[in-house]
Amino acid sequence: MTGPLDRGVRAELERAAALLAGAGVPSPRHDAEELLAHAHGVERRDLWRLTAVGDAYGPLVERRRRREPLQHITGMAWFRHVGLAVGPGVFTPRPETELVAGAAVEEALRLAAPVVVDLCTGSGAIALSVATEVPAARVHAVELSEQAHAWAARNLAGSGVDLRLGDMDGAFPELDGAVDVVVTNPPYIPVGALVRDPEVVEHDPALALWSGDDGLDALRVVERTAARLLRPGGLLLSEHADLQGEAAPAVLTATGRWDDVADHDDLAGRPRWVSARRRP
């Protein structure tokens, strides 16, 4: 913000932030400000221009107090350098996944005409980031859920990304052995695991969350699909749960199809994603 807040506006923001904090919302002040900006159709940095809080604000705060995702309320999620339309039926992209997308972008930028495949694309976040940041890339994406595919189609319209509806297992047979980067944020929560975050269990689609007894069933399909798609030396990048820092790389090493298998931390220092190169 570039100026002091109106006293009345500041009081309403503080009240809203206290309500959200009491409900366990992780970033109450940030969310209170984002909701106020959304209610008035302004950017958060321009809240200092407001002289009063309109009637629309209270109901928005109440929705967030009940732990409806902020992104569902505003209809928008920011991911790296792009804004994504999100809502019921699609996984809300998280900051952790930006690191995986960034690694895909970095690898693609090394190549003259990279071919990149995004498996389990969800909202299209990774695919759109690569297409936006690497204009020379040919980007392909696949999504199994019809609801999520509809959100991805909306976000990827005009981007040049080849988006398909279907299972990643068997997707893009015409690209076998010709892909430079396979990147994914697959489901990775073990069935029966206790998830305390209401935004996840009540609003993220089950198809994007659960992945067998050990949470690695989807990664096994990713491994098989990536091994088929990638050229020798091609790069696989996959997100995983923070408790899978050893188990996820083990899925890859066990097949004997990968070199340079390495695990990587997120910004909080937790194991979060694995990389590997297709063995010749």
Residue 120 has pLDDT above 80, yes or no: yes
DSSP string across the chain: --SPPPHHHHHHHHHHHHHHHHTT-SSHHHHHHHHHHHHHTS-GGGGGG-SS--TTHHHHHHHHHTT--HHHHHTEEEETTEEEE--TTSPPP-HHHHHHHHHHHHHHHTSSS-EEEEES-TTTHHHHHHHHH-TT-EEEEEES-HHHHHHHHHHHTTS--EEEES-STT--GGGTT-EEEEEE----BPTT-----HHHHTTS-GGGTB-STTS-HHHHHHHHHHHHHEEEEEEEEEE--TT-TTHHHHHHHTTT-EEEEEEEE-TTS-EEEEEEEE--
Residues 184-228 pLDDT 10s: 999 999 998 988 889 998 999 999 999 999 999 999 999 999 999
Residues 142-198 pLDDT 10s: 999 999 999 999 999 999 999 999 999 999 999 999 999 999 999 999 998 988 889
Residues that constitute the known binding site for substrate: 185-188
> What pLDDT, on the 0 to 100 scale, is given for residue 173?
98
> What pLDDT, on the 0 to 100 scale, is given for residue 1?
59
Residues that constitute the known binding site for S-adenosyl-L-methionine: 143, 185
Residues 38-79 pLDDT 10s: 999 999 999 999 999 999 999 999 999 999 999 999 999 999
> What pLDDT, on the 0 to 100 scale, is given for residue 30?
96
Q: What structural domains does the chain harbor?
A: 7-66 (no CATH), 77-278 (3.40.50.150)
Residues 7-27 pLDDT 10s: 999 999 999 999 999 999 999
> What pLDDT, on the 0 to 100 scale, is given for residue 67?
96
> What pLDDT, on the 0 to 100 scale, is given for residue 105?
98
> What pLDDT, on the 0 to 100 scale, is given for residue 112?
97
Residue 2 has pLDDT above 70, yes or no: no
Residues that constitute the known binding site: 143, 185-188
Largest Cα–Cα distance in the chain?
Answer: 66
Question: By CB neighbour count within 10 A (0-12 exposed, 13-18 middle, 19+ buried), where does 212 fall?
Answer: middle
Residue 253 has pLDDT above 70, yes or no: yes
> What pLDDT, on the 0 to 100 scale, is given for residue 194?
83
